[in-house]
Structure 1
Amino acid sequence: MEQKKISSLQLFYVIVGFEVGNTVIFALGVGANRDAWLSIVVGMLCGLVLMFVYTKLSAYYPGDTLIQMIPKIIGKYLGFPINLIYIFYFVFLCSSACRNFGELIIGTILTKTPIVVVIGSFMVLVIYCLRGGVEAFGRMGEVVFPVYMFAIVLVWVLLLSVEQFNMNNLTPVGGNGVKPIVKEAFPHTIVTFGETIIILMFFPFLNNKQHARKIGMAVIMLGGILLIVNTIMIMSVLGPEIYSKVNFPLLSATRQVSIADFLERFDALIILLMVAGVFFKVGGWTYGAAVGIAQIFNVKDHRSILISIGTIIIPLAILHASSDVEHFLEVGRKFLNMYFHMLTQIIFPVLLLFIAFIRKKFNLENSSV
């Protein structure tokens, strides 16, 4: 397994980019209507709790990834199927992010290009980067993240110029009560922050592990603030009705920008955001899956696994939904959020932390399970 290291700042860039990623262009918190931003606040607070769980697990097993620590906590016989679930989770989420990317690209700039070509080309780029190891991924994060931040801030500034921009679209705050906010936060917005469980696949390669918790908490805070501001900006332009009916609300809002009837059609900025965001998302999931598979089957170099993962992800991205509507509603909100995310992001980690605590408390590290 590689001995390369990633700096604290590089890991921060990569995981913030991973957390926010392509989420900024979607209707996050849509079930809470005009209080969508409040559901993100609730999700962020819960995300801080989850990050505490993740970093505490890492503190118990500082040299291990999630895949390595699971057998140490619950034994190799129970750990093996749990590890397989996590590998499938990483691969499936990677294919889902690729599908999102493909849908946006063929719906905007490459309308006559087969989606398999778009997704395949992007996966080749990601795998080429990841074959350089975690250091290469971290350095790419240093380059891509500032571009990503510049693009999103520029989009927000442009949205301020839209004639329909009106923050009254957010009022009355909490007008529908607390229930829709909490119902949307559990499970739909919390999973955005829970996906940062991927950070457990990077912590062993961090050059200063003492900063792990600070990085994790800072990731949740900055990512949450970015998503809250983004939702407020979109809602102020589109209003809650349109926000809830379009697949890519940030794209729809940006198309309203018209400066002096000359500067219009800033779709390219949204494409830039999507490409940068999906790079972090797909890169993180693919790296986690490759390292995990290498550790389960004792493969010395995970880079040899990357091409195989790519050949699985591309057809899976196309086959797991027949249309973009089915992908967003059936696969995303109804299946992933309700079942898969809850199991892998909350239930398993909390149980693992509890068992790990008992093992450390009663010095059971050498006992068999």
Structure 2
Amino acid sequence: MEKAKISLYQLFVLILLFELGSALLVPLAIDAKQDAWMAILFGMLGGLFLYWVYYRLFYYYPELSPPEYMQQLLGKILGKIISFCYIIFFLLIAARILRDFGEMLLTFAYIETPLFIVNALLMLVIIYAVSKGIEVLARTGELFFVFIYFLAIAGFILIAFSRLIDINNLKPVLEEGIFPVARVVFTQTLSFPFGEVFVFSMILPYVTDRKKAKMTGLFAIALSGINIAITMAINIGILGVDLTLRSPFPLLSTIQSIQVAEFLERLDVFFMISSVICIFFKASIFVYAAVISSAILFKVKKPSSLTYPFGMVILFMSITIASSYAEHIAEGLKFGTRFLSPTFFIFIPLLLLAIAFLKNRKNSSHQ
């Protein structure tokens, strides 16, 4: 891995921007209807447990990256195969995030622009940022974090003053009981966005104060989960369940409806800016994890040399992954959050932790 160090605050900022990423764009957990905010909070609680799992693996092997400790726990051949599968999966998620970005811009402003051009522009910036290393990415995150939160607080105040929220849209709570909410948690919100924090297993070895990285990560996940839940509650409170379900980007529709004192309106440009920033960081971290994992697995001495070919592969995948945005979302719900993400973000890490626990207990009993 590269010789880099990031502070606890930088880790906190990266996790928060990463979690918000594309989760603010889509109608997350809307299958739970007006209880979507509750499904997000329960998913966040599961996400806190999953981060603890990832941190425990890091605790057992603080000097090793996931591709290295997978080989120790599963054997060289199986460990390398699973590590390679993770690399492919990281590239796939990065491509999906890039597609989200392109579709949002085409819907919002660039209707006549080809999707390839829009995606290529962001991909070039991601390639540049990743090639510079994790320290540069973390410092950039520090700069944008304050700006993002300022926009979020300003937007919340404007929504409150515009008196758009109808609290009746969030009632009745648990109309069909807890089971529909639980189903959404296990099929959607646990894996996306909270399970995706597994990618930070590649970044934890860079943290200066490793002991405090656990609490920092837990706090960042909790704060991001609360933010996403509040955002979804506001979307439903303003648009209602039906409009939120039908809208490809409900937060955009919510912000477009803000009108204060008959002159403060059309604030969707601020939504676009903040979304582009969050998506940039989320995609960059996945690309970075794929690059470093590949460099370790295939013993590449200069990891930055992989960023350009990986960037081209992700760009190509983002265009060919689906023929339309509706198909893109449907594929994500059908295969991504139900099968692929649980396998890579929940089952395999739990299996690895169980093996690590047994191995370490066996070693300690022999000493």
TM-score range, shorter chain: over 0.9
Aligned to 2:238: 237
Q: In 2, are the aligned partners of 1:22 and 1:273 still within 8 Å (CA)?
A: no
Q: What is the letter of the counterpart of residue 121 of structure 1? A: L
* d(CA) in 2 for partners of 1:13, 1:361: 35
CA RMSD of aligned residues (A): 1.5
Aligned to 2:8: 8
Aligned to 2:114: 114
Q: In 2, are the aligned partners of 1:162 and 1:237 still within 8 Å (CA)?
A: no
Aligned to 1:52: 52
Which shifted more, 343-352 or 257-266?
Answer: 257-266
Q: In 1, are the aligned partners of 2:37 and 2:233 still within 8 Å (CA)?
A: yes
SS at match of 2:322: coil
Q: Deviations over 1:29-77 (max 9, x none)?
A: 1110000011011101111111110000000001122222111111111
Aligned to 1:71: 71
* d(CA) in 2 for partners of 1:72, 1:145: 37
Aligned to 2:296: 295
- What pairs with 1:199-210 in structure 2 (closer than 5 Å)? 199-210=200-211
Q: What is the letter of the counterpart of residue 302 of structure 1? A: P
Which shifted more, 240-249 or 258-267?
Answer: 258-267
* d(CA) in 1 for partners of 2:301, 2:157: 48
- What pairs with 1:328-347 in structure 2 (closer than 5 Å)? 328-329=329-330, 331-347=331-347
Q: What is the letter of the counterpart of residue 283 of structure 1? A: S
* d(CA) in 1 for partners of 2:51, 2:179: 25
Aligned to 2:151: 151
Q: CA deviation at 1:228?
A: 1.1
- What pairs with 1:203-352 in structure 2 (closer than 5 Å)? 203-329=204-330, 331-352=331-352
Q: CA deviation at 1:78?
A: 0.8
Q: CA deviation at 1:311?
A: 0.7
Q: CA deviation at 1:100?
A: 0.2
Provide the aligned length of Structure 1 versus Structure 2: 365
SS at match of 2:299: coil
Q: What is the letter of the counterpart of residue 307 of structure 1? A: Y
* d(CA) in 1 for partners of 2:164, 2:121: 38
Q: In 1, are the aligned partners of 2:90 and 2:289 still within 8 Å (CA)?
A: yes
Q: What is the letter of the counterpart of residue 181 of structure 2? A: I
Q: Deviations over 1:309-339 (max 9, x none)?
A: 101000100101000000011x211110111
Over 3 Å off, 4+ runs: 161-164
Q: What is the letter of the counterpart of residue 37 of structure 1? A: W
* d(CA) in 1 for partners of 2:2, 2:46: 33
| TM-score calculated relative to the size of structure 1 | 0.96
Q: In 2, are the aligned partners of 1:234 and 1:250 still within 8 Å (CA)?
A: yes
* d(CA) in 1 for partners of 2:153, 2:233: 13
Q: CA deviation at 1:161?
A: 3.4
Q: In 2, are the aligned partners of 1:55 and 1:216 still within 8 Å (CA)?
A: no
SS at match of 1:263: coil
- What pairs with 1:117-136 in structure 2 (closer than 5 Å)? 117-136=117-136
Q: Deviations over 1:225-257 (max 9, x none)?
A: 111111111111111111111110000111111
* d(CA) in 1 for partners of 2:104, 2:196: 22
Q: CA deviation at 1:5?
A: 0.9
Q: CA deviation at 1:174?
A: 1.1
* d(CA) in 1 for partners of 2:289, 2:241: 36
- What pairs with 1:174-213 in structure 2 (closer than 5 Å)? 174-191=174-191, 192-213=193-214
Structure 1, gaps ≥5 residues long: none
Q: CA deviation at 1:163?
A: 4.4
* d(CA) in 2 for partners of 1:188, 1:201: 24
Q: CA deviation at 1:122?
A: 0.5
SS at match of 2:172: coil
Q: In 2, are the aligned partners of 1:151 and 1:272 still within 8 Å (CA)?
A: no
Aligned to 2:137: 137
Q: What is the letter of the counterpart of residue 75 of structure 2? A: G
Which shifted more, 255-264 or 189-198?
Answer: 255-264
- What pairs with 1:23-62 in structure 2 (closer than 5 Å)? 23-62=23-62
